[in-house]
Structure 1
Amino acid sequence: MVVTAQLPAPRDEIEEAGAAGAGSRGTGLWLRPFVVTLAVACYGMTHPLLGRDELVTWDMVNRGTGEILATLGNVDAVHGAYYLLMHLWVGIFGDSVISLRIPTVFSAAGAAAMVSLIGNRLFGYRAGISAGILFALVPAVSRYGQEARSYALVVFAVALATFLLLRVLDEPRRPGRWAAYALALAGVGLLHLIALSVVLAHVWPLVSAARRDRSLWWKTALALSAVAGCVAPVVLLGRSQVGRQLYWVPEPDAWALPSMLGEVFASGLCAGALVALALLARSPRRSALLLCGTWALVPPVLVWIASHGQVSYFRPVYVLFTLPAWALLAGAGLAAACRSRGAAVVVLAAVAVLGLPDQRQMRQPFEHNAPVPLDYAAAADVVSQGHQPGDAVVYDRTDTWKLDSGVRYYLPRDLRMRDVFLEKSATAIDDLYAVECPAPELCLKDDERRVWLLTEGSGFPLDALGPAQSSALRSRYTVTSSRSVTGMTVSLLVRDDK
């Protein structure tokens, strides 16, 4: 990959890129990568159980709009736009696993289409379509395209904003194009603030074009000011909540940055293949290489640097939006190295084979809960088969994140049990965490003869609870049966009639 700080005359480059786009071969340019990504991401999409973060999505989107907004004032404001969008979606299509995940599947497919369109404008048709298909083959695209979280939508929004930037520079005198670009960029920030760092890559073509047309200085300033105004409330709320939400993320060491790439791709082999192809990228339009190179490299470095303060932001999924840039460079490298269609197909097939083991891994039942697998569905099945009217339930909330939501999701919707030690639900207090009864002994009821106990791990079930809850249950109930499922134990406690 050749990167130089010297920018050529931008208007000539943009006109040439526009001509390449006008000569594209119909809808096949974007439709083929779209369909390939859709097929790959749809395959096995229901195999993994809902993960902890997906259960947060399910919890949030099933609240009322007012309740969601109230909760965002306390926690998770940075994901608020996604929750509100999914709230509308679930209100229409329900909250099945497919319904929760299909928006991200289409987001991943849409991102692949955008990658092809961008690649065509920057590097030509063969590079564009190759980039779109390479993007589809990255295991992380399937992993996060099958997760009910915002990350695939963020990738699409970043790719869309970049494509709209190129359209702005095609005809910078059209205000509608500036408005579309600013709107897309605001969407990026509302979905994930860190992804706004893509603006640093957009600076190259904007500054380069402004040297020819000075009106672009104030137009760019106006567009970015509008974006800043839109995302400012999220920035302020996010800053006040970040310590609570990311306290658990460790500060990265020196090795974390280079090793992050394999995690972003969800495949070390696939990452190596695309980086090798990216190093072969060539273009007479050097600003195209600067745009993609900055997009790929700068955001992870900034996140690494920022993570050495009071809070660490160093999670590979936060820079997933750099994948399109790597795919674009790899597509350009593939087009430069393989002059024939047959050779290019062989390379694409090789990349697919390299990613196959990780593609399989992405579809394992507990992949979305790795590295601590919890079989919510099996636990719910045990309870639903043995349930009797009047049964109550106790969930292990000691050190377990969303065990209660996971089991409730897979229980039949008409099977309702009193949560014995629950004082206030998370919804009732506009939060993600419930409040439990401070005096467990007083929360027991004499008319509840049977209590289901769901705990993490495989030890004696009552030992998994806090001392007060464990003592209260021991004083009145006896464990009559326990069944282990992956990562959990389901026990039935029956009241002593002595």
Structure 2
Amino acid sequence: MPPMSLDERAPTATGTVSPPVPARRPSPSPAEAVVVIAPLLLTIALGLWGIRRKNTMWGDESVTYQLAHRDLSQIWHTAQHVDLVHALYYAVMHEVFGLFGGGLVTLRLPSVLAMSVAASGVGLLALRLAGPRAGLLAGLVFPVLPQVQKYAQEGRSYAMVCALVAWATYALVVSVPHRARWRWAVYGSTMLLACLLHEFAVLALVAHGVTLGLSRVPRPVMRAWSVTAAGVVAGLLPLAIRSAGQAEQVSWIGGPVRLQYFLVVAVLGLACARAPLGGRGPVRLSVLAVPILVLPGLLLLIASLVKPLFVDRYVLYSNIGIALLLGALMDHFHRKQQSSRYVWIAAVAVLAALVPSSLSLRTPESRSDDVTAIGAAVRTAGRPGDGLLHLSGRHRILTAANPEDTRFLTDLALAQDPVSSNTLAGVELPAREIAARMLDFDRIVAVRATGAHSLTDPREQAKTSTLRRHFRAHGTTHVNGARVTVYVRDHDPSPKAGPRTTSPGASGGVRR
């Protein structure tokens, strides 16, 4: 006989109906506490391990570092021209820098903490859907995933988005049986905040809808989700429309970036979902995990048929799905006593195999560029009074993180520095003026970003043609993400430093 619901009233001996007994919120059990705390502590430990990466920074983090040091009004004005999709994150980091200082650890620590919160959310999700052991295992699997380890140590928004999606998913699962409006409000506001931090978080909303459809939830539940989802989309729409005008921000994506990881975990997840993972409640674990693992990346790949958009970090939160499936699979095999020993042996072997990857992720070479090394190479190659040239100009951010690297050099193409122009890379002079300024110098330090130079821009054509006709390469230093070349005038066999001229924002730096 099923238990009587709280709305049912039992008749008393006199025939009257007794009032309903109010429900008491149960206190967290020891199992729940372990499921929350253990993954959180493991993620913090892995996040703090090698967090400085030998005191280096890569290009995207450099953008965060520079913009978060600007005033909120400057961040807003800059976002009108570029990087509007990350404006909220820059504002958050501005406040973090104001409270705790703008150092390298402060840049990355919010991501460590956010990923720790995400791990706890993953654990609670699995606990609710498959039991305490599955919850603990899923929560512990999540932080050791290579992609999670990588972006837990980056000063970008992706870890925060992952945490918000994890807890929004938990709010969704909790909301289904209760149907309370405030629970749907929590779900909707959490999802909206995730989308405002990064627009592609909206793809998790699609995955949630598919999960509810496959779970055949009652119509009132589906209606409540639809209304909430419509509210999230409406809240995101102004940002999406406005940021569409900044599509050049993703023009660097020539094809799927790091697609292999997504394909591997997707196939692994689908294989895990074939096992009888069990579960409880109206939403099954596999029905929740597979859509959030596969759909966001798949939709980005489909969109890439029109315009390349797939980058693995844009759907970082899909790791929630693989962690849930692996945790539940390990729990399934543990219940089968005859095979549990082999499961744990396999788990130890996998962890051992991940050690080289974990070590590699904490080196400067694990990122596509290293602005610290690029700046140091410029500082070493340059002499006071030398000219400085960026090929191309939009990659001036590669030398702007530390103004001391370019302090005694003159930026030959710069008309207005990044801060005063409310841009990322500043405003450059017309092509003719750049060429004329270059001829005033006998030595020029040129920074060429790997794979970034384009001959279609007249300014870039003027830079390269002037170097080719009037200068010769005197020495090149190759660093991660760029090469730094010293050019000298052909007419002077014994090159000397150029005139000690200055230009607005010669260092290309930002106001601290």
Question: What's the TM-score once normalised by structure 2's chain length?
Answer: 0.76
Aligned residues of 2:386 and 2:444 also touching (Cα < 8 A): yes
1:100 pairs with 2:104? no
1:319 deviates by 1.9
Question: After superposition, what is the alpha-carbon deviation per residue over 1:314-347, rounded to whole angstroms, capped at 9, x for unaligned?
Answer: 2222222111111101111110012368766544
Amino acid at match of 1:436: E
Query: How far does the alpha carbon of each residue in 1:15-43 deviate from its partner, in whole angstroms, 9 at most, with x for none?
Result: xxx99996551421111111111111221
Aligned to 2:14: none
Post-superposition shift, 1:433? 3.8
**Paired letter, 2:84:** A
Other structure's SS at 1:423 match: strand
Partner of 1:245: 249
- Look up the match of 1:47: 53
Q: Deviations over 1:124-180 (max 9, x none)?
A: 11111101111111111111111111111111111010011123235322x332221
- Mapped to 2, the partners of 1:107 and 1:305 lie a distance apart of 29
User: Residue 266 of structure 2 contacts residue 293 of structure 2 at CA under 8 Å; is this kept in 1?
Assistant: no
- Aligned position for 2:375: 380
In the alignment, which residue of structure 2 is the partner of 1:127?
134
Q: CA deviation at 1:358?
A: 2.0
CA gap of 1:347–1:120, structure 2 versus 1, over 3 A, is: farther
Q: Which SS does the other structure have where 1:287 is aligned?
A: coil
Instruction: Report Cα offsets for 1:285-335 as digits up to 9, x if no partner.
Output: 4732211122112222222222212x2222222222111111101111110
2:411 aligned with 1:423: no
Change (3 A) 1:37 1:274: farther
| 1:193 Cα deviation from its structure 2 partner | 2.1
* Alignment deviations for residues 90-127 of structure 1 (CA, whole Å, 9 cap, x no partner): 22223322111111111111111110010000011111
What amino acid maps onto 1:236 in structure 2?
I
Q: Confirm whether residue 330 of structure 1 aligns to residue 326 of structure 2.
A: yes
> What is the SS of the residue equivalent to 1:396?
strand
Question: Separation in 2 of the partners of 1:239 and 1:210?
Answer: 35
Aligned twin of 1:462:
none
- Residue matched to 2:509: none
Match for 2:251: what amino acid? Y
Structure label with greater radius of gyration: 2
The question of 1:180 aligning with 2:180 is answered no
Note the residue ranges of structure 2 that are not aligned, 5 or more in a row: 6-23, 451-458, 489-495, 500-512
Report the CA distance between 1:224 and its aligned residue: 2.4
Shift of 1:410: 3.9
Per-residue CA deviations over 1:387-417 (Å, capped at 9, x if unaligned) read 87x635413223x763x33333245499465
Give the structure-1-normalised TM-score. 0.78
Matching residue of 1:78: 85
Shift of 1:227: 1.6
| Aligned sequence identity (%) | 25
Matched with 1:219 is 224
Residue 250 (structure 1) shift: 3.4
Q: How does 1:25-174 map onto structure 2 within 5 Å? A: 25-47=31-53, 49-173=56-180
Contact kept? 1:384, 1:411, Cα under 8 Å: no
Partner of 2:21: none
Alignment RMSD, CA only?
Answer: 3.8
Q: Which has the higher contact order (CA 8 A, sep 6+)?
A: 1
Do 2:388 and 2:444's aligned partners in 1 also have CA atoms closer than 8 Å? yes
Which residue matches 2:304?
Answer: 307
Helix, strand or coil at the partner of 1:283: coil
Is the 1:21–1:120 Cα contact (8 Å) retained in structure 2?
no
Residues in 2 aligned to 1:300 and 1:54: alpha-carbon distance in whole angstroms: 23
Q: Does 1:362 align with 2:361?
A: yes
Structure 1 distance, partners of 2:279, 2:374, is 59
Give the equivalent residue in structure 2 for 1:351: 350
1:183-242 deviation per Cα after TM superposition (whole angstroms, max 9, x unaligned): 10101211222221222332366568995473x455334422332232111111233323
